[in-house]
Structure 1
Amino acid sequence: MKVSIITATYNSAKTLEVCMSSVLNQTYNDIEYIIIDGNSNDETLSLIKAASDKYKNIKCISEPDKGIYDALNKGINKATGDILGFVHSDDYLADKTVIEDIANSFIKSNVDGVYGDLHYVSFENTDVIVRNWMSQPFKARLLNRGWMPAHPTLFLRRQVYLEKGLFNLDYKIAADYDFVLRIFKSQNYRFHYLPKVITKMRVGGASNKSLKSIINKTREDYKALKLNGLKFPAKVVLSKNLSKIPQWFKK
């Protein structure tokens, strides 16, 4: 099984080396690493070139884009793997066996998607866990409680994207939630929960870096719920936000 991992970058030099290293040093051998750069003007491209000289499985495009979801869509279109996943430039895979464990889960469970747990960590000191997002096996009723898997931990068969489409660029922050609703509400797909930390995410991302971002995220979540036909979207948004509170205390 070939696994395509996509990273979107823009002036990401401060964190990119750790991100790339976590992908390039995996125990799993059949990885295609796609980096979509938004025409960075810092040292990002130099770091990518240095890695590309050493690792031949890196493919890179650098050009202006319309934001992170546009970049991820470009990566999906370029990917040739059987399985697709994302590692954002501020994030990194939790250990060297993550992709091997995910690939084995696809094979053993014969599923369309695999997801796991996520740690939010301090931007400056990644040993400090700020928030612990522990997921659970999927049941359809969870969507009405505002549940979703941590999107950076979600790996899907390429066929899912071919059937369900890409990220909707009408969303600036919540296109991942819209996409999750689109595929998890479908009865055509099966998912496996892998109970281990897949991704370490530095705090301060686009959806949680300010009060304004949180408000905009809430509005977009409501829109995604409504357009995807879930009942009582305001109640679901409230449940979604309240469900995150325990994550701050489970370290």
Structure 2
Amino acid sequence: MNPPLLSIITPVFNSKEFIHLCIQNVVQQNCSSLEHIIVDGGSTDGTVEIIRDLAKEYSHIRWISEKDKGQSDAMNKGIELANGSVIGFLNADDYYEPEVLNRVCELFQTLPKNSFAVANCRIWQTEDSFHLNEPKDLRFISLVKKKSVHPYNPVAYFYHKALHKKAGLYDINDHYSMDIDFILRVVRKAHCYYFNEIWGNMRFLPGSKTFEDNQQGQAIKRLKDVLKKHWDLAPFWIKWKYNITPYIHKLTGNLFHERE
């Protein structure tokens, strides 16, 4: 069986410092079943010139540069351009572990249609220290009620492009928590798999959008708003199951205790 074509999408805007490293990180994966789609939002700092030069050197790179409505809009443009049946997102300042893309192609040869595959991600807080994001429990209730850790960054998850027909695209009005919003939609539609491997690295450093949003105290509020929205929209049976389960556990625990 031939490996699926993998479309790696990089939305970027004025990221001259990292775009060369990002492109080379994909090149160094040595993955033959790959296209790298770079969606630039009209950068003015030299980012476009770097993309243009490297695209001449590497035939797997496809790119556009035009004004957009933000990161989610750029991500959706990349999805529309993607020829691959499997999608991954790589922000310009993040990077994959060696051989991850070949590993993903191998896995998706065996996973069923409409699969969402997640692994661990290193969150670098300084140049030499990190904590490990391990999103082991991908059940909707666990994620929306904060009993589990969400996949923290798209660098560590991949999924079938066809899932967008079931779960929709990224919300262009959401410029920060669009990935969590998408995940909460997709876990109810997809076959979800967690692999206890390290696939990606995220730089959570001063100057990055996520870092600055967190420093300003907005990140937690955004997360709470997204979780509340999805809980409010959840079907009745999901809410019922969540609310009744603790009472069942309490009742059965008491019964077992009485028998002892």
State the TM-score, normalized to the length of structure 1.
0.82
Indicate conservation of the 8 Å contact 1:91/1:199, yes or no.
Answer: yes
SS in structure 1 of the partner of residue 83 of structure 2: coil
- More deviation in 147-156 or 61-70? 147-156
C-alpha distance in 2 between matches for 1:5 and 1:171: 21
Deviation of 1:171 (Å) = 1.9
Q: Percent identity?
A: 26
- Root-mean-square deviation (CA), in Å? 2.1
What SS does the corresponding residue of 1:102 show, helix, strand or coil?
helix
Residue 111 of structure 2 aligns with which residue? 109
Q: Which residue of 2 aligns with 1:197?
A: 198
Are 1:160 and 2:173 matched, yes or no? no
Counterpart residue number, 1:213 = 218
Q: Point out where structure 2 has 5 or more consecutive residues left out of the alignment.
A: 241-260
Question: 1:23–1:163: structure 2 CA closer, same or farther, 3 Å change rule?
Answer: same
Q: 1:19-168 to 2 correspondence within 5 Å?
A: 19-95=22-98, 97-110=99-112, 112-122=115-125, 125=127, 128-136=128-136, 138-146=138-146, 147=148, 148-152=150-154, 153-168=156-171
The question of 1:171 aligning with 2:174 is answered yes
Q: Is the 8 A contact 2:144 2:231 kept in 1?
A: no
SS in structure 2 of the partner of residue 108 of structure 1:
coil
Aligned residues: 226
| Separation of aligned partners in 1, 2:202 and 2:40 | 19
The answer to whether the 8 A contact 2:144-2:230 is kept is no
Q: What letter matches 1:7 in structure 2? A: T
Question: What are the superposed Cα offsets for residues 53-83 of structure 1, whole Å, 9 maximum, x if unpaired?
Answer: 1101111110111111111011011111010
> Does the Cα contact within 8 Å between 2:55 and 2:61 map onto a contact in 1?
yes
User: Structure 1 unaligned runs (5+)?
Assistant: 233-251
Letter matched to residue 106 of structure 1:
F
Deviation at 1:215, TM superposition (A): 4.4
Deviation at 1:198, TM superposition (A): 1.2
Q: Report deviation, 1:216.
A: 4.3
Residues 1:45 and 1:215: Cα distance change in structure 2 (over 3 Å): same
Q: Please give the alpha-carbon distance, in whole angstroms, between the structure 2 residues aligned to 1:11 and 1:215.
A: 26
Higher Cα Rg, which structure: 2
Alignment-mate amino acid for residue 66 of structure 2:
E
Change (3 A) 1:35 1:190: same
Cα pair 2:122 2:131 within 8 Å, conserved: yes
Deviation at 1:223, TM superposition (A): 4.5
Amino acid corresponding to residue 198 of structure 1 in structure 2: W
Go from structure 1 to structure 2 and tell me whether the alpha carbon gap of 1:184 and 1:202 turns closer, same or farther (over 3 Å shift).
same
Alignment TM-score, normalising by the size of structure 2? 0.79
CA distance in structure 1 between the partners assigned to 2:221 and 2:13 by the alignment: 22
8 Å CA contact retained: 1:26, 1:99? yes
Determine the C-alpha separation between the residues in 1 that align with 2:119 and 2:60. Answer: 25
Instruction: Detail structure 1 runs of 4+ shifted over 6 Å in the superposition.
Output: none
Distance 1:150 1:227 in 2: 23
Counterpart residue identity of residue 68, structure 1: Q
